[in-house]
């Protein structure tokens, strides 16, 4: 008897992760494609293409085919899914069953684009699962209970805020602000405040190394660390290389986390507004459940330092980041494809 492989894909704006049944997560690469401008021939995908970002000659374009969680360039996305499937299945792509995550508020057109891109890549059956549900399954939240759970999945292109009860989304909102918008905010602030021009990759490095969503006021630091009064909390800094905005010459600066914290406030506030809007749409009984259980944070951008403290402070509801937030959605997609019958309600 011929067994078809079951494959789960978390097709993200920043990273794509692939899960193969009985093997686990087999691939984690950047969602970047490099192709020639002339004949649109694909030259590199994933890690190799990311190395080219901001470093290509005029004849080669290195770009992200997904924008804000949605397919922006259909042809390159299809080629990229084909590449990732071949790599994950070691070249033997024999009509696998594919489950792929989509944003909670994806339109019919966006859903069709994802399905046809997967079919063109060689998939026989394509199942769609909404990202917040996949993240909740991956975070081991008992979603089938008649009880409210709030999950905020902050990825590269979108932040998905959802209230889940009885295995379905009760209230949800897709905010088109997430990791890439945080990178852009860092780029803009450094250009404006320090006259330093940097690229996407450098901005992402800064965010990972010294990004901080919530810096406690000195007063609260003093109260919380009276015993450590000699240990003054040092600001984290990082050497950043870029180009001077005025002279156009290379420039190296020491950048502290304070200025990066200021840069991140505007996009973080937009995510916070989305959370508040979802709370406003939630039935009171479910709101009461969430106050008891707290807000679950997942997705790669949930790895930003103190993002849980930031959300707790401004919503008044306890928030916590799941273990390995980047792998939360793909774990959920993997569990759902391996147990298709149990999750029939959640998939499309």
Query: In this model, does residue 80 exceed pLDDT 60?
Result: yes
Other CB atoms within 10 Å distance of the CB of residue 5:
21
Predicted local confidence at residue 220, as pLDDT: 44
Give yes or no: residues 56 and 117 share one domain.
Answer: yes
In this structure, what DSSP letter does residue 235 have? P
Q: How far apart are CA 133 and CA 343, in angstroms?
A: 10
Q: Is position 281 within any domain?
A: yes
Spatial contact of 161 and 152, defined as CB atoms under 8 Å apart:
yes
Strand order in the sheet with 6-11: 24-30, 15-20, 6-11, 97-102, 125-130
Q: Is position 283 within any domain?
A: yes
Q: Are 302 and 296 in contact (CB under 8 A)?
A: no
Alpha helices for 89-244 (secondary structure H):
108-120, 131-138, 179-194, 200-210, 218-224
**What pLDDT score was predicted for residue 11?**
87
201 located within any domain? yes
Separation between Cα atoms, residue 86 and residue 234, nearest integer Å: 47
Q: Is there a single domain that holds both residue 145 and residue 294?
A: yes
Residue 198, phi-psi category: left (phi > 0), alpha (psi -120 to 50), beta (remainder): beta
101 shares its domain with 159? no
Backbone torsion region of residue 200, taken as left when φ is above 0, otherwise alpha when ψ lies between -120 and 50, otherwise beta: alpha
Instruction: Say if residue 80 is in the same domain as residue 115.
Output: yes
In a domain, residue 260? The reply is yes
Confidence of residue 91 (pLDDT cuts 50, 70, 90): low
Mean pLDDT to the nearest integer, 64-93? 82
Task: State pLDDT tens for residues 266-289.
Answer: 999 999 999 999 999 999 999 999
Question: Is the domain of 123 the same as that of 192?
Answer: no
Q: Which of 37, 33, 43 is nearest to 78 (CA)?
A: 33
Both 74 and 24 in a single domain? yes
Do 261 and 307 sit in the same domain of this protein?
yes
Give the Cα separation of 343 and 127 in Å (integer): 11
How many structural domains does the chain have?
2
Cβ atoms of residues 323 and 299 within 8 Å: no
Pair type for strands 159-165 and 33-36: unpaired
Q: Structure pTM?
A: 0.87
Query: How many angstroms separate the CA atoms of 206 and 185, rounded?
Result: 12
φ, ψ for residue 341, nearest 5 deg: -65, -35
Residue ranges of the binding site: 13-15, 156-158, 204-207
* Same domain, residue pair 177 and 131: no
Tell me: the pLDDT tens digits for 296-320?
A: 999 999 999 999 999 999 999 999 9
**What would the two tokens of residue 45 be?**
């995908």
The two tokens of residue 125 are 């059956």
**What is the structure's pLDDT at 68?**
76
Residue 274 · residue 173 · CB < 8 Å? yes
| Owning domain of residue 306 | 140-226+233-321
Regarding whether 249 and 215 lie in a shared domain, the answer is yes
Clarify whether residues 175 and 115 are in a common domain: no
Task: Give the pLDDT of residue 42.
Answer: 86
pLDDT at 113: 86
Would residue 197 count as lying in a domain? yes
DSSP string covering 201-229: HHHHHHHHHH-BS-PPPHHHHHHHTSTTT
CATH, residue 35: 3.30.420.40
pLDDT band at 342 (very low <50, low <70, confident <90, very high): confident
Residue at 344 is within a domain: no
Q: Are residues 115 and 145 in the same domain?
A: no
* Domain annotation covers residue 85: yes
For the cut 80, the answer to whether the pLDDT of residue 326 exceeds it is yes
Total count of residues recorded for the chain: 348
- Report whether pLDDT(27) > 70: yes
Q: Which residues contact 91 (CB under 8 A, 6 or more apart)?
A: none
Helix count and strand count (H, E) for the chain:
11, 18
| Domain co-membership, 252 together with 306 | yes
Percentage of residues in the chain with pLDDT exceeding 70? 92
pLDDT tens for 64-75 read: 888 877 788 788
The mean per-residue pLDDT over the stretch 249-257 comes to 93
- Distance, CA of 310 to CA of 329 (rounded, Å): 22
Positions at the binding site for ATP: 13-15, 156-158, 204-207
Would you state the pLDDT for residue 226? 43
The model's pLDDT over 179-238, given as tens digits with 9 standing for 90+, comes to: 999 999 999 999 999 999 999 889 999 999 999 999 876 544 434 444 444 445 678 899
SS3 call for 96: coil
What is the per-residue pLDDT across 146-169, written as a single tens digit (0 to 9) for each? Answer: 899 999 999 988 899 999 999 888
Average pLDDT for 54-79: 82
The residue among 71, 66, 135, 70 whose CA lies nearest residue 346 is 135
More confident residue, 197 or 118: 197
- 216 located within any domain: yes
Q: Is residue 236 a contact partner of residue 190, using CB atoms and an 8 Å limit?
A: no
């Amino acid at each position: 008897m011929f067994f078809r492989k079951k494959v789960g894909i978390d097709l993200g704006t920043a990273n794509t992760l692939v899960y193969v049944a009985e093997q686990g997560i087999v691939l984690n690469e950047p969602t970047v494609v490099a192709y020639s401008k002339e004949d649109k021939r694909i030259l590199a995908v994933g890690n190799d293409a990311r190395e080219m970002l901001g470093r290509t000659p005029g004849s080669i374009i290195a770009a992200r085919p997904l924008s804000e969680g949605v397919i922006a360039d259909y042809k390159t996305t299809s080629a990229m899914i084909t590449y990732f499937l071949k790599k994950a299945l070691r070249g033997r792509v024999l009509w696998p069953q594919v489950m792929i995550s989509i944003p909670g508020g994806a339109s019919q057109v966006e859903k069709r684009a994802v399905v046809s891109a997967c079919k063109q890549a060689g998939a026989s059956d394509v199942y769609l699962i909404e990202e917040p549900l996949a993240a909740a399954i991956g975070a081991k939240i008992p979603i089938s209970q008649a009880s409210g759970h709030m999950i905020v999945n902050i990825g590269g292109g979108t932040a998905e805020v959802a209230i889940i009860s009885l295995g379905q989304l009760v209230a949800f909102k897709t905010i088109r602000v997430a990791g890439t918008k945080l990178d852009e905010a860092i780029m803009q602030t450094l250009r404006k405040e320090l006259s330093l021009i940097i690229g996407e990759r450098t901005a992402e490095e800064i965010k990972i190394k010294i990004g901080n969503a919530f810096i406690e006021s000195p007063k609260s630091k003093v109260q919380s660390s009276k015993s450590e009064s000699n240990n003054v909390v040092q600001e984290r800094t990082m050497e950043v290389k870029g180009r001077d905005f005025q002279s156009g010459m290379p420039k190296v600066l020491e950048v502290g986390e304070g200025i990066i914290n200021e840069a991140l406030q505007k996009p973080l506030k937009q995510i916070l507004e989305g959370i508040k809007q979802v709370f406003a749409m939630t039935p009171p009984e479910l709101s009461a459940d969430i106050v008891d259980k707290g807000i679950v944070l997942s997705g790669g951008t949930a790895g930003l330092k103190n993002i849980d403290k930031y959300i707790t402070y401004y919503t008044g509801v306890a928030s916590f980041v799941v273990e390995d937030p980047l792998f939360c959605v793909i774990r959920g997609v993997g569990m759902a494809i391996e147990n298709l019958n149990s999750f029939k309600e959640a998939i499309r």
